[in-house]
Amino acid sequence: MAGLIRTWRSRLPVGPRTPVVTLHEGNTPLVPAPRLARRAGLPEDAVWLKLEGLNPTGSFKDRGMTLAVSKAVEDGAKGVLCASTGNTAASAAAYAARAGLRCVVLLPEGQVALGKLAQAIAHGAEAVTVKGNFDDALRLAREGAGGRWALVNSVNPFRIEGQKTAAFEVADALGRAPDYHFLPVGNAGNITAYWKGYVEYRRGKPRMMGWQAAGAAPIVLGRPVPKPQTLATAIRIGNPASWKQALAARDESGGRIGAVTDAAIFAAYRFLAREEGVFCEPSSAASAAGLLAFAARGGFRKARKGLRVVLTLTGNGLKDPASAQALPAKARTCAADPAAFKRLLGAA
């Protein structure tokens, strides 16, 4: 794998003079989830997980960032700007470092998981804490962009172009597009990008099933949420930049955008880690929580034989170690004695 731009050049808005700023992103695994399928009342081979947390900086953001930063370099930018709840900042900082550009990230005060902030700082980003929420930070970033500063949030069309390649990979792995595609919805760029990818690739069109956290569900409510609240920090967004495009993806695909509680998200997060061996960040688990909620309401009653359902897990669990520390753990103490250890094993 040589990175997305080289792999999908014919399907991306690049030319012979476009530099390739890459960390060999993409080509992430699509793995079966038989226990999750059983929990949803589906055949064991029906549900698949797209592990986007295995991208270079640990999230799907790298797909769009490779193209956005490459185009920024082509256009003569000297630096990149972004507002972020964490993952965009980490990705922008890494790709800016790769390209030799300055990177300024605007972060909503007290709303960014420590693991993500640490990544951005490690890559040399200049962090600016905004006394407000993500939407306030994005407004400032938009106002600061221009000239030699490129904005690399998902309002940048090159981000969407890069992210659509995940749909190509899913269709190639399954031999066709899935019947349903579940994914978290925060700023709504990803649901927009996947739908664009499926439409362009012409190997079938899934129902796009987006899921917001109940405390940060502006699309579900039909109005912005001034103070969004959820433990799923990556989707704690009250006024998504790609709102209209997400609605179009939902309506054109015959899908839906719903909301799930933090309790349901956290339960799905735990289930994926302990039953499927997949450690994702809580925001990613909104897709699994949505799957289970949809199944419980009889959403798959009319499912055809050979059903294929894909869930995008957008980020790695190491992004948010504090959430993992909140899980109940089995920890015991044992003397440094083989007999004592054998007794402990026997009692387990």
For residues 68 and 21, the answer to whether their CB atoms sit within 8 Å is no
pLDDT (tens digit, 9 = 90+) per residue, 8-46? 999 999 999 999 999 999 999 999 999 999 999 999 999
Note the pLDDT of residue 305.
84
Q: Which of 117, 138, 157 is the last residue of a domain?
A: 157
Q: Is residue 17 part of a domain?
A: no
The answer, yes or no, to whether residue 179 has pLDDT greater than 90, is yes
Model-level pTM? 0.94
pLDDT of residue 214: 98
Q: Percentage helix, strand, coil, to 5, in the chain? A: 45, 15, 40
Residue 111 above 90 pLDDT?
no
Total domains in the chain come to 2
- C-alpha closest to that of 67 among 132, 133, 11, 141: 11
| Residue 28 covered by a domain | yes
CATH code (residue 320): 3.40.50.1100
Q: Do the Cβ atoms of 60 and 315 come closer than 8 Å?
A: yes
Distance CA 39, CA 36 (A): 5
Q: Establish how many alpha carbons lie within 13 A of residue 237's alpha carbon, considering only the half-sphere containing its beta carbon.
A: 26
The 10s digit of each residue's pLDDT in 283-307 is 999 999 999 999 999 999 877 789 9
Residues 174 and 198 reside in one and the same domain: yes
- Mean pLDDT along residues 214-224: 98
C-beta separation of 5 from 67 below 8 A: yes
Q: Which of 25, 29, 32 is closest to 8 using CA atoms?
A: 25
- Average pLDDT on 144-168 reads 96
- The set of long-range contacts for 269-275, using a CB threshold of 8 Å and a minimum separation of 24, is 269/323, 270/327, 271/35, 271/36, 271/39, 272/33, 272/36, 272/49, 272/313, 273/317, 273/324, 273/327, 275/35, 275/36, 275/39
Contact 308, 179 (CB under 8 A): yes
Within this chain, do residues 285 and 185 fall inside the same structural domain, yes or no? yes
Which tokens sit at 91?
A: 């990705």
Q: What is the pLDDT of residue 219?
A: 98
Dist. CA 236–CA 112, nearest whole Å: 10
Q: What does pLDDT average to over the chain? A: 95
Question: Token pair 């061996």 is at which residue?
Answer: 277
Question: Are residues 195 and 280 located together in one domain of the fold?
Answer: yes
* H helical segments located in the chain: 4-7, 34-39, 61-74, 87-99, 114-122, 134-144, 157-163, 165-174, 189-201, 218-221, 243-253, 262-275, 286-296, 321-325, 338-347
- 3 state DSSP class of 325: helix
Place 104 in a pLDDT band, splitting at 50, 70 and 90: very high
**pLDDT at residue number 14:** 97
**Of 112, 132, 157, which residue is a domain's last?**
157
Same domain? For 201 and 213 the reply is yes
pLDDT mean over 229-238: 93
Q: Is residue 341 part of a domain?
A: no
Q: Are residues 69 and 136 in the same domain?
A: yes
* Cβ contact 85:112 at 8 Å: yes
Return the percentage of the chain with pLDDT > 90, whole number. 87
Tell me the pLDDT tens digit for each residue of 38-60. Answer: 999 999 999 999 999 999 999 99
pLDDT at 348: 56
What is the token pair recorded at 245?
A: 């495009």
Q: Given its phi and psi angles, is residue 86 left (phi above 0), alpha (psi -120 to 50 degrees) or beta? A: left
Are 115 and 319 in contact, with CB atoms under 8 Å apart?
Answer: yes
> Rounded mean pLDDT of 75-82?
97
Retrieve residue 288's tokens: 């699994």
Q: How far apart are CA 285 and CA 102, in angstroms?
A: 33
Q: What average pLDDT does this structure show over 124-146?
A: 92
Co-location of 117 and 105 in the same domain: yes
The pLDDT of residue 169: 99
